[in-house]
C-alpha cells in the first residue's frame, strides 16, 4: 500500500497482513525536511556544576555530547530498523541550563532534502547527547534522570508542519 492510498490514522510501517515493513518512499517528492527534538537531564549540584564548567575528569562533556548527538543522527537508520538512510544536510545540538533544578536541556535540529522526514534523526541525536552527558558525569551522580524526550517541530513533506504547543 503506497502512502497516497493510505487511510488517515493507518500505520505506514505495517503491510496489509500486519507485518513490519520499510515504507516505500520512491514515489514521494524530495522536499526540505526539518525536525527539532528536545530532552532533559537532571542531576545533583556537583555534577551540574562540573558539566557546566567543563571540569569533569573525562573531559568537556558538552563538546563530547554535541559530537555524539551529531554522529548518532547520521547513524539513525543503523539503530532503528525501519528508518531510511538519509543524506542529512545539517545536524545541530544546543544546550540550555536551569540552575534552579540542576537540569540541562538538549535541543537537536536535523535537516535534509529527502523524500521522508528527519524526526527520528533529531530524536536520536537528542537521546544520544543526553546519554553521553550521563556517561560523562556518572562518577558524580549515578541517580541522574533523563526525561521528556519529544519532537518539538517538523516541517516538509505531505503531512506539513507540526509544532508542539507547550512553551
pTM: 0.88
Task: Confirm whether 105 is domain-assigned.
Answer: yes
Give how many domains the chain has, as a whole number. 1
CA distances 140 to 44, 50, 83, 135, Å, are: 8, 9, 36, 10
Task: Confirm whether 24 is domain-assigned.
Answer: no
Domain extent at residue 57: 30-163
State the pLDDT at residue 18.
79
**Could you read off the pLDDT tens digit of each residue along the chain, which spans 167 residues?**
344 444 555 657 777 887 887 888 888 889 999 999 999 999 999 999 999 999 999 999 999 999 999 999 999 999 999 999 999 999 999 999 999 999 999 999 999 999 999 999 999 999 999 999 999 999 999 999 999 999 999 999 888 999 999 85
Which one is catalytic: 15, 45, 99, 135? 135
CA distances 54 to 29, 40, 102, 106, 129, Å, are: 44, 18, 15, 16, 16
Task: Confirm whether 15 is domain-assigned.
Answer: no
Task: Confirm whether 132 is domain-assigned.
Answer: yes
CATH assignment at residue 138: 3.30.70.640
Q: Is 135 a catalytic residue?
A: yes
State how far the Cα of 107 lies from the Cα of 93, in Å rounded to an integer: 6
Task: Confirm whether 20 is domain-assigned.
Answer: no
Residue 119, all three cell numbers: 524526526
Task: Confirm whether 118 is domain-assigned.
Answer: yes
Task: Confirm whether 9 is domain-assigned.
Answer: no
Task: Confirm whether 18 is domain-assigned.
Answer: no
Amino acid at each position: 500500500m503506497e502512502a497516497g492510498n493510505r487511510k488517515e490514522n493507518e500505520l505506514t510501517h505495517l503491510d496489509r497482513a500486519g507485518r513490519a515493513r520499510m515504507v516505500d518512499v520512491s514515489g514521494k517528492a524530495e522536499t526540505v525536511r526539518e525536525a527539532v527534538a528536545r530532552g532533559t537531564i537532571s542531576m545533583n549540584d556537583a555534577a551540574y556544576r562540573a558539566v557546566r564548567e567543563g571540569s569533569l575528569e573525562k573531559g568537556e562533556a558538552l563538546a563530547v555530547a554535541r559530537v555524539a548527538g551529531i554522529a548518532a543522527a547520521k547513524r539513525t537508520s543503523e539503530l532503528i530498523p525501519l528508518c531510511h538512510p538519509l543524506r542529512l544536510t545539517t545536524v545541530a545540538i544546543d544546550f540550555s541550563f536551569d540552575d534552579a533544578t540542576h537540569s540541562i536541556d538538549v535541543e537537536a535540529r536535523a535537516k535534509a532534502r529527502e523524500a521522508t522526514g528527519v524526526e527520528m534523526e533529531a530524536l536520536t541525536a537528542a537521546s544520544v547527547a543526553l546519554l553521553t552527558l550521563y556517561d560523562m558525569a556518572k562518577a558524580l551522580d549515578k541517580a541522574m534522570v533523563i526525561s521528556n524526550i519529544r519532537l518539538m517541530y517538523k516541517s516538509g513533506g505531505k503531512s506539513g508542519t507540526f509544532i508542539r504547543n507547550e512553551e
